[in-house]
Amino acid sequence: MEASTSNDPDVKTFRGRSLEEILPQIREELGPDAIVLRRREGLTGGVGGFFQRPYVEVDARGPLGEERALEIRNDRATAEGLSSPAVQALFEQATPFADALAAAARGTSPQDDFFSATVSEDRRLDPPRGEAAVSFDEDFFDPANISGPTGLYGPQPNQDAIRRAAPKPPVAEPMPEPEAVPEPPVVPVQAKPEPEPEPEPVLEDEEPEPELEEPEAEPDAPAFTFDAPTGFAIPQAPRPAGPGSDPLLPDRPQAADAAEQRLVAAGLSQALAADVVREAVVHGLPFTSPRNIKKLVRNVLAGRIDVFRKLGTEPRTIALVGGGGAGKTSTVAYIAASYVAVGADVAVISLRGDTTLAARLQPLGVAVIQAKDGEQAKKRLGAARPLITLIDTPAVGLSSSPAEIKTLAAELKLLDVNEVHLALPATLSAAAAEELSEALAPLGATHVVLSHADETKRPGAPIELALKAGHPLSYICARSGVSPADPAELAAQLLP
């Protein structure tokens, strides 16, 4: 260990192998109030840079005249703060738990333990016999009485004072044994003869008293009570049946009524809308929040809408039927253009039609077969078996005679049509859609095409007709093109 003097006469430099080695020398030479100014570490000694040893160098000086030594903090403010009513109330609340912990640590019961001499006023004013009273202001936080090291925020409570304030368990004094009292002698008692019972008087013409009907006993309440823990709901008793209520069904939220009204406004009938919402409430609501009722209704509605299933890769012959302006020609043109765009083989037949369809498809390289009847169309098609054969039929509807409809049905059978798609405009009402479907029943429709889909946001009537008839929805046609029917998109359109 080395000590040297720097340029400042009051500053001395101490060097050693560690700080623990230097500090005793600093206190010895400069006093316990010495101030460390700087500390440095380095290596020294060795040969050629090897075998060097670390060292610590510290610059320190003694306190100057104007510098006052550190004093122990006066705890009067702390004592006054702890004696305030608010802090005392906190102590009173925490004392039972602290007493229980202290008793558990010492192996005693909480009743025989006393945690703090500062909490109970009567203990402070009237200490037990044989024990000195603990002064809160003087002894409890007196720095001179602190048994342990000073804490980060000043002197801590006097643990010795706390232990002195804790009452000792009272020593039970032995109770004197009671003196034995001699038992008195037993005197035999002579039994008295029992008197004979007197005969009861007999009343003539005594009418029996009417029996009172006892009221039916109400079912006893359960002999136990159950407090549900947090986050656990006790099942409620079944609701009494009444007008407009069903005790077997879950509670119906108000949002369900709003969803039902929107479905009706979108074109669905009241019966279908109520049935869809009822299914969503009964089987969907138990698994989610009532806030998701709209999503549940959409899922139920989408599950009921049938679409294409397992088309396969075999050739298909599709005929589009419907009334005038139903969108048959546009649907045929869009379907043909979609398949041709990916290189598929497509054939298009126009029965008794004009050149409108040919003008739209010939620029795309699709030849349109013009035919006045089914026989001519079959001859011109020949032995060709394209992937998709689309037939645009003449307009038939309520104004068509039954003979015209039967003739068209025979022509479709001659052309081996395996899919008859009924084109229904999305703007069609429920009554008109039903009338058209009944009139064209001889054609044997197998699918429904929803045309003019971009002209309304309420296509509920044609969709409900497809559900009632059991016909899958095949295509959704609009001015921008055609696409396969998507149940989820249709449900979202009906219930936005």
Check residue 137 and give its pLDDT.
45
- CA–CA dist 79, 136 (Å, integer): 7
The answer to whether 458 and 265 are in contact (CB under 8 A) is yes
Check residue 169 and give its pLDDT.
64
Q: Is the pLDDT of residue 130 over 50?
A: no
Check residue 234 and give its pLDDT.
46
Query: Buried (b) or exposed (e) across 245-258, using 16+ Cβ within 10 A?
Result: eeeeeeebeebbee
Mean per-residue pLDDT over the chain, rounded: 77
**Which structure tokens are listed for 122?**
């009567």
Q: Closest Cα partner for 72 from 156, 193, 179, 187?
A: 156
Residues 6+ apart with CB under 8 A from 379: none
Range in 100-104, 164-168, 221-225, 256-260 with the lowest mean pLDDT: 221-225
Please give the model's pTM, rounded to 2 decimal places: 0.52
- CA–CA dist 267, 429 (Å, integer): 8
Residues 6+ apart with CB under 8 A from 329: 320, 353, 356, 357, 392
The half-sphere exposure of 82 on its side-chain side, counting CA atoms within 13 A, is 17
**Which structure tokens are listed for 483?**
């696409």
Strand partners, 448: 422, 473
Query: Which backbone phi and psi does 286 adopt, to 5 degrees?
Result: -60, -15
The answer to whether 335 and 388 are in contact (CB under 8 A) is yes
Check residue 85 and give its pLDDT.
77
Residues 6+ apart with CB under 8 A from 461: 267, 268, 428, 429, 430, 432, 433
Residues 6+ apart with CB under 8 A from 219: none
| Segment 412-422, tens digit of pLDDT | 999 999 999 99
Q: Closest Cα partner for 113 from 122, 103, 126?
A: 103
Question: Quick one: pLDDT band at residue 292, thresholds 50, 70, 90?
Answer: very high
Mean pLDDT of 35-59: 84
Q: Of residues 173 and 97, which shows the higher confidence score?
A: 97
Q: Maximum CA pair distance of the chain?
A: 144
Check residue 467 and give its pLDDT.
93
The answer to whether 140 and 161 are in contact (CB under 8 A) is yes
Range in 31-35, 271-275, 389-393 with the lowest mean pLDDT: 31-35
Number of residues written out for the chain: 496
Check residue 244 and give its pLDDT.
44
Check residue 438 and give its pLDDT.
93
| Segment 456-466, tens digit of pLDDT | 989 999 999 99
- CA–CA dist 429, 139 (Å, integer): 96
Q: Of residues 70 and 443, which shows the higher confidence score?
A: 443
